[in-house]
Structure 1
């Protein structure tokens, strides 16, 4: 038999058996597909999860609709393996997983905790926070799940002149990152903040201290500094590293071909199909080019495109600020961040 025909037949057999590939991550692009309505979703009842903060807890905050909870991400040509809490807890017994990033990482972190906690009845845990690092330990398995609240990944330090963003240093947190078996990094949302909305007074690169600089350049320099740290300190045999791409916001209905919509408020359904009308954020290209330089050490969690479809899944007025604000940046928990974690789970298998 022709070797190409035999290989194609074998791949088809692997795809069809039990509805997914035996090793799906070898053949499947988890990040291309569409959202399908699934009555078995969500993966858990948010009222039964003790980890969800007010800003993400849309159901507790009074959101009246529920259909946004019922959509499952379906990759093209394969299926995501269903999350198994028992299996995951046993596989990562006595291990440590850390999420590092801003409030969108916190969004994902709380989703991840909920998925683990609700999957095993009587799942005992402890919580603690030391500085910017929160830790939940699942006692019966010794698994630690941590969050490092870190806006830029590079250091931000207090000096006599004020708060300085150091684009060429990650020294303050790097030693704590290396204590973990799995690391999931994210940064983007804060790089564009200016005026009183930025948390630093000066930015520094190679002993040059400035009041400000081109933010795209600063973003690139910060990512290259993080890449340098990964290249020099990460041993892939000991630590698995993921970098999560830009999480899209929905503040302009023209992006999803609805010019009458000013924002995500009142949206109750995703954009259906496999093509999103709007363009990808320019920052995504920056991230992919830079992270791609060390792809043997970092796996890209490319959640941008799949999340663009979900204009329906933000807190809107059921978030941190209630009716006085419109949150089209963060995500309800349960919701889209569960899918990010389902993909992460499949990549960790």
Structure 2
């Protein structure tokens, strides 16, 4: 076993990296406006000069050429919400330093589903929008006030928009998180089982933990039961937000300009509970998947990202508007920015899978 394989890359510190970043907002065309922090005048650049250093080993900086060679002829899909899309966009930006991605999406502008090809390497990368992972509906979704309307979550029914698409993919990167804090109605076997942040007094009021656990359990079982999927699933762990001095809609912001040290913060509260739920449901999926020869792996970025309050767009995801108060974004990540490190994690996990496959074939 290699030293790196014995090393838990989820534990460590952020250390100085004067060579970063490895692309710019001018060199990558897949950066969405609300993550283009330098375009909108972010004055500090120190948040671009850090890399993740695990305890007891090193985590190499992402090598785009090596990634393309490892993934040559393969298909990778991201499943989740806009933070999942944020990760995929980071990967596209890094790979585009070697080969420009070709957008082969049915809709050319940014939509909920995107596909890219790196044709020299016959690599396909897709994103499937499914912020709850399970089937959802919403009353009057076209209404201008739809943001405040609750979603109906059918917690025992996987979302067919992604489960029907995954056959043929070699790797899935599945994640979900911040949408589970929105007003929601919970259904199990077609019957209303409870709600989160609903005004009705005659409905059982439950927490986000209830829906989070059941959504991941349903998603993992849908993968296991998909007869035509034989790939590897990576669960990308929960990435905490960093609102300070108020909730997201009450003036909260994230203005810090450097990472925390490990001793300056700790995983607790709802961040810890959601992370724990992911670990528990992943272990269940791993046991169930063995019978079909399916692999479920953890891409554990939670502690690393807990320490990066400096990496969010804050108010630099848009131009200021006179006499208009705009909400600061402390959920998504600037591009380039700390989210690029997720691809350091990803390529290391892919290297380990390659080496494990070679050992098993001997």
TM-score category of the 2 structures, normalised to the smaller one: 0.7 to 0.9
1:51 Cα shift? 0.4
* Structure 1 position 222 matched with structure 2 position 218: no
Q: With structure 1 as the length reference, what TM-score do the two structures score?
A: 0.81
Going from structure 1 to structure 2, the CA distance change for 1:220 and 1:54 (only over 3 Å counts) comes to same
Specify the alignment match of 2:105 in structure 1: 128
SS in 2 for 1:177: coil
The 1-side partners of 2:32 and 2:282 are apart by 31
Segment of structure 1 superposing worse, 289-298 or 93-102: 289-298
Specify the alignment match of 2:328 in structure 1: 326
For residue 155 of structure 1, the aligned residue among 116, 132, 135 is: 135
Specify the alignment match of 2:306 in structure 1: 308
Going from structure 1 to structure 2, the CA distance change for 1:345 and 1:64 (only over 3 Å counts) comes to same
1:21-52 deviations in whole A, cap 9, x for unaligned? 4xx2x211111000011111112222100000
* Structure 1 position 244 matched with structure 2 position 232: no
Do the aligned residues in 1 keep the contact of 2:37 with 2:316 (CA within 8 Å)?
Answer: yes
State the number of aligned residues. 311
Specify the alignment match of 2:201 in structure 1: none
SS in 2 for 1:344: helix
Specify the alignment match of 2:176 in structure 1: 187
Specify the alignment match of 2:358 in structure 1: none
SS in 2 for 1:176: coil
For residue 158 of structure 2, the aligned residue among 170, 177, 182 is: 170
Q: Which runs of 5+ in 2 are unaligned?
A: 141-149, 196-204, 352-362
For residue 29 of structure 2, the aligned residue among 50, 60, 70 is: 50
Specify the alignment match of 2:277 in structure 1: 286
Q: Which runs of 5+ in 1 are unaligned?
A: 1-10, 15-20, 255-261
Q: With structure 2 as the length reference, what TM-score do the two structures score?
A: 0.78
For residue 18 of structure 2, the aligned residue among 17, 30, 39 is: 39
Going from structure 1 to structure 2, the CA distance change for 1:269 and 1:171 (only over 3 Å counts) comes to closer
Specify the alignment match of 1:138 in structure 2: 118
Going from structure 1 to structure 2, the CA distance change for 1:77 and 1:110 (only over 3 Å counts) comes to same
Computed over aligned residues only, the root mean square deviation of the Cα atoms, in angstroms, reads 2.7
1:249-280 deviations in whole A, cap 9, x for unaligned? 111379xxxxxxx85543111113x3342433
Do the aligned residues in 2 keep the contact of 1:56 with 1:330 (CA within 8 Å)?
Answer: yes
The 2-side partners of 1:340 and 1:226 are apart by 22
SS in 2 for 1:89: helix
The 2-side partners of 1:52 and 1:317 are apart by 16
1:100 Cα shift? 0.6
Alignment of 1:86-125 (within 5 A): 86-118=65-97, 120=98, 123=100, 125=102
1:48-107 deviations in whole A, cap 9, x for unaligned? 000000111101111111010000100111111332222221221221111111111111
1:320 Cα shift? 4.7
The 2-side partners of 1:81 and 1:174 are apart by 33
Going from structure 1 to structure 2, the CA distance change for 1:304 and 1:253 (only over 3 Å counts) comes to farther
